[in-house]
Chains A and B, each alone.
Chain A
């Protein structure tokens, strides 16, 4: 052994306490400051925080494109001018990640889009400041319920989308079908899908996962969970029947999963005419206009199941940060951004449906073809919004990929077990 080596070993030993000290003091520095305010009232409704003088708001949105960014920015600027505050609208590239960083760092944006799926975990973690607008009752009941947890509504629904049935006009006419034949029951859907199926084209493409299969559960009077009661209801008999119906549709070959016809989603299968019908939301309008402008199609409400009409609705809300010092101003901005006129402007700009009932009439007048979509607002079922269920839902989606061959009761049973375990934690 040589001298330098011994020396190196010695100085390494000496370095340890110094490193530990450095690390500890840095830890203290990081931890300090947020000790008190980090623990402060999150999730508790109270008077909105506001500061003296004009507020400066930071708004984080996940934009679908330039049209949405421009519409939101214009509206926010107009509000700023009117109210004398300042607003900066920031478009997120990955909103989940950016919000997470904001929440952890203690300086989240004041106002942001919250997806219904992410809402319960944000609410439970105390990241959201719960508020209701003055005319809260004007929002669709189902949307308000989506953003309610343990009796508290956390935020105002921004807009929404629902599932409906899209039908390729050319295939429909080629199969000799008329308006009379638009399916209104499960049996009719099956028959029509059979009729439309040709060697080159499947009758119906049903997107994979819970966000499509769930519609059939609703039509049979059930759902994965009971949001109001906070219980898991997946393994109920009605749900097994509904999934079995989906399985039969797929097994018969008249219905396919998008991946069966080499498509990423139902809209692609429909647009490339590999399927004559699909079940998608109003977002399919944009895709059809941009990517498949030559395909003519009509939209109908989803057929009724044994328990009546049912569809799924997808929505986002305007979340206000619990840590925001400008909550009062943010509430004011939300009420400006969600007023009926503004919602119609948004609908024209980027094709979302107004979340207010008072805007429905104007919307239907402006977009008569979208009546089947907006009708879903009345009877649609919002997404699962119980906290802690993300992994269980991901597992459900993964199992539903195999729905053609798997046992429907087994899938539901396993989700029931996983979700119940997650709720108990």
Chain B
């Protein structure tokens, strides 16, 4: 265990055992270096501790407590309630669970629409902007990126105005003879409307089989609602604002694609689409992974648009876990439940991100690694010896190299 050791201590150990001097002294230097290293990173550790680890630890504790929001959550009067808060969200029948499930449903449809759409649009815009022949690329790049750097509150307010009952959008739609809904007051689900339009069901008298089946506090009919009209306005807004950010990521990655490879593909007779699919897209895989991961994390945490524009209404169809957590904490003082929601949300994000990382992994690379492991296992004990030697060698790494590895490790 290499805890902080003062240089004096380290050199003392060295002096008392002359026979093993070479080895010990190298360890001593290592310890000394370690101490200085810890000293250098201690400000960062302190900042991380205060602003990251402590808040997370507090939130974990709150999610298992009955803290009422008065005084410190660690005060003696705050009780431990075990998994009660989690049970209220997941197993106990009641309003808390159905609120939470409603928010998960809304957020699920939201993610389902936003993530693919923003990824595809961003990729499309990046490919277009990467075209050498395009004029005024700088202008378009700025124009597409502009929504991303504008305050989401300001954009939210503008959308409220655009999509109000007699706003510009509806006025425009009326001109072409479309009878538009009152967007932000319309709680009807898009899937419900679609089914109604296709004659699958009547939206005003839902099929008894769906209405009667209750899953986790919501009826199957409610689960299948799809995003409401109001939520779809928020979906459009978010796609519009975040596409620009991800477009920049794709654009940067596209500029890294070696032009020779593309030209070679062309020479080999691939058309534009084929060379995009077989050459460009595989090059973009790491960026694609990043964009989708960031997309999933961001969309599951949507809060500000809901807070500014709808506060969860109409009919709770724009409620999201992040907003619900806020409202349970600040409006009704149920801090334990609110914190538990946050951790369930964290789990969902964690699982989904890992899942998509697995799905999008580089299959060739994974195969190579598997083969390598198998080869190693066949060699057996021999490789263990190799590892030991390797790790011994690691101690004697030059300081410069060690530093660069340290920063690599923390990423």
Contacts and interface: CB of A to CB of B under 8 A. Distances in A.
Main secondary structure of the interface of A (DSSP, over half): helix
Interface stretch (A29-37, A48-56, A75-83): A29-37
B225 to A, nearest CB: 13
B-side interface size class: 35 or more
Contacts of A27: 54, 57-58, 74
B330 A96 contact: yes
Contacts of A106: 71-72
A6 interface: yes
Interface in B360-411: 390-391, 393-394, 397, 401-402, 404-406, 408-410
Contact of A401 (B3, B57, B94, B313): B313
Contacts of A8: 405-406, 408-410
A262 B164 contact: yes
B99 A395 contact: yes
Contacts of A35: 72, 74-76
A395 B334 CA distance: 16
A421 B217 CA distance: 15
Interface in B254-289: none
Interface stretch (B16-24, B43-51, B207-215, B232-240): B43-51
A127 B329 CA distance: 15
B315 interface: yes
A401 B228 CA distance: 15
Contacts of A260: 182
Contact of B315 (A22, A42, A126, A401): A401
B333 A121 contact: yes
B77 A3 contact: no
B390 A6 contact: yes
A23 B390 contact: no
A191 interface: no
Contact of B397 (A3, A18, A31, A100): A3
B57 A390 contact: no
Contact of B409 (A12, A23, A121, A323): A12
Interface residues of A, number: 62
A34 B49 CA distance: 21
A6 B49 contact: no
A26 B50 contact: yes
Nearest to B167: A262
B68 A11 contact: no
B185 A259 contact: yes
A5 B316 CA distance: 49
B391 A6 contact: yes
Interface string A1-23: 10111111111101001110011
A219 B393 CA distance: 87
Contact of A104 (B1, B71, B312, B331): B71
B70 A18 contact: no
Contacts of A125: 68-70, 333
A125 B70 CA distance: 7
Given A4-B401, A22-B49, A398-B316, A14 B3 contact: yes
Contacts of B182: 259-260, 262
A170 interface: no
Contacts of B68: 124-126
A38 B72 contact: yes
A398 B315 contact: yes
Interface string B22-34: 0000000000000
A39 B76 contact: yes
B45 A18 contact: yes
Contact of A38 (B75, B187, B408): B75
B350 interface: no
Contacts of A17: 1, 3
B395 to A, nearest CB: 8
A23 B49 contact: yes
Interface string A65-93: 00000000000000000000000000000
Contacts of A5: 405, 408-409
A262 B401 contact: no
B204 interface: yes
A126 B67 CA distance: 12
Contacts of A402: 187, 315
Given A96-B331, A394-B331, A398-B315, 4 more contacts: A5-B408, A7-B402, A38-B75, A390-B332
27 contacts: A3-B394, A3-B405, A4-B394, A4-B409, A5-B405, A7-B402, A7-B409, A9-B409, A11-B406, A14-B3, A18-B4, A18-B38, A22-B53, A23-B53, A26-B49, A30-B72, A39-B76, A100-B69, A100-B330, A104-B72, A259-B182, A260-B182, A262-B164, A388-B332, A391-B328, A394-B327, A398-B312
Q: Which 5 A-B pairs have the closest CB atoms?
A: A8-B409, A4-B405, A262-B165, A38-B71, A31-B74
